[in-house]
């Protein structure tokens, strides 16, 4: 079984998050960590590998030169090998470009199952798993709160406000998981030492045969960016017999009524 897990380097959720007003991109000057939802996705693969010795787990990530640190953590947790897509042309890539590049990398590596989080904690797009499934021509089982990997199929439970659904798909396939899946294991000392010797490959757009600057491919761009205005004091309504009228006027002015 060849399982490929998509992971992402993101700003630490305990730090402040803001956009650079110069570039319009997320300010990544602070501490960067392996996204927790990616760790949970890796844990799903590792649990399957614990019971099936023939499982090969590849962790794949796209990002800047700091990404190898987070990929090494994934290797220390138990992944078999790591692939890093690194290219300056990918700075600020939107979801369309990201999906195209990751799909090319996934094809290059080969897979029976791709596991990813339902959405990252920085971009929170939530559409990448479905985009990848479309580009790779495989079924997608998204937003799963449980995952069962069987002989030739993957299945799980999707929980929505209306209820829970049991979904399944034949392999090869893509699944995305939610935070209802268990926390990831911690890297052991033995795993940290072993990670230094595991295969680690860095690939560029040229290696993948992808040109993200092709004008025939739609790309979104940032038109402008500005700092969020400082919070101001709200409107205080004192009831002097006309509070209801004041409230109604306020709601009408805010187009809330």
Mean per-residue pLDDT for 155-181? 92
75 pLDDT more than 70? yes
Mean per-residue pLDDT for 231-237? 84
Label residue 57 by pLDDT band (50, 70, 90). very high
Distances (CA, A) of 29 to 11, 25, 32: 8, 11, 8
d(CA 53, CA 187): 19
Residues whose CB is less than 8 angstroms from the CB of residue 229 and which lie 6 or more positions away in sequence, other chains included: none
- Going through 43-177 in order, the beta strands assigned E by DSSP cover 56-62, 81-85, 113-117, 140-149, 153-160, 163-170, 173-177
CA angle 24–30–31, rounded 5-degree value: 130
pLDDT of residue 147: 96
113 pLDDT more than 80? yes
d(CA 110, CA 162): 36
d(CA 157, CA 138): 19
Label residue 154 by pLDDT band (50, 70, 90). very high
pLDDT digits (tens, 9 = 90+) for 171-191: 999 999 999 998 999 999 999
- Between 232 and 221, name the one with better pLDDT: 232
Label residue 52 by pLDDT band (50, 70, 90). very high
Q: Do the Cβ atoms of 145 and 178 come closer than 8 Å?
A: yes
Label residue 89 by pLDDT band (50, 70, 90). confident
pLDDT of residue 218: 52
pLDDT of residue 162: 83
Residue 159: CA atoms inside 13 Å, Cβ hemisphere, count? 8
Beta pairing partners, 59: 5, 82
Phi, psi of 51 (to 5 degrees): -100, -10
* CA dihedral over 224, 227, 232, 234, signed as positive or negative: positive
CATH code for residues 2-208: 3.40.50.620
The full set of domain ranges for the chain reads 2-208
Mean per-residue pLDDT for 2-26? 78
Q: What is the DSSP letter of 198?
A: S
- The answer to which of 15-24, 46-55, 228-237, 241-250 has the lowest mean pLDDT is 15-24
Mean per-residue pLDDT for 32-61? 95
Name the pTM for this structure.
0.81
pLDDT of residue 119: 84
22 pLDDT more than 70? no
pLDDT digits (tens, 9 = 90+) for 209-226: 988 765 545 566 667 777
């Amino acid at each position: 079984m060849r399982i490929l897990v998509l992971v992402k380097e993101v700003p630490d959720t305990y730090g402040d998050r803001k956009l650079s007003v110069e570039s319009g991109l997320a300010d990544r000057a602070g501490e960067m960590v392996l996204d927790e939802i990616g760790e949970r996705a890796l844990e799903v693969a590792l649990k399957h590998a614990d019971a099936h010795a023939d499982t090969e787990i590849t962790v794949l990530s796209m990002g800047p030169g700091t990404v190898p640190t987070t990929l090494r953590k994934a290797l220390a947790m138990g992944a078999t090998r790591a692939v890093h897509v690194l290219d300056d042309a990918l700075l600020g890539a939107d979801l369309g470009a990201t999906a195209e590049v990751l799909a090319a990398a996934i094809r290059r590596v080969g897979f029976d199952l791709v596991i990813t989080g339902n959405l990252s904690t920085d971009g929170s797009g939530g559409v990448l798993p479905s985009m990848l499934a479309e580009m790779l021509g495989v079924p997608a089982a998204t937003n799963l709160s449980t995952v069962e990997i069987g002989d030739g199929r993957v299945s799980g439970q999707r929980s929505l406000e209306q209820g829970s659904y049991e979904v399944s798909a034949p392999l090869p396939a893509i699944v995305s998981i939610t935070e209802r899946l268990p926390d990831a294991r911690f890297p052991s000392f033995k795993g940290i030492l072993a990670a230094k010797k595991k295969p680690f490959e860095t690939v560029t757009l040229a290696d993948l045969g992808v040109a993200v600057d092709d004008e025939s491919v739609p790309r979104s761009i940032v038109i402008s960016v500005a700092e969020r205005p400082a919070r101001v004091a709200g409107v205080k309504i004192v009831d002097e017999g006309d509070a209801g009228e004041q409230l109604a006027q306020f709601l009408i002015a805010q187009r809330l009524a």
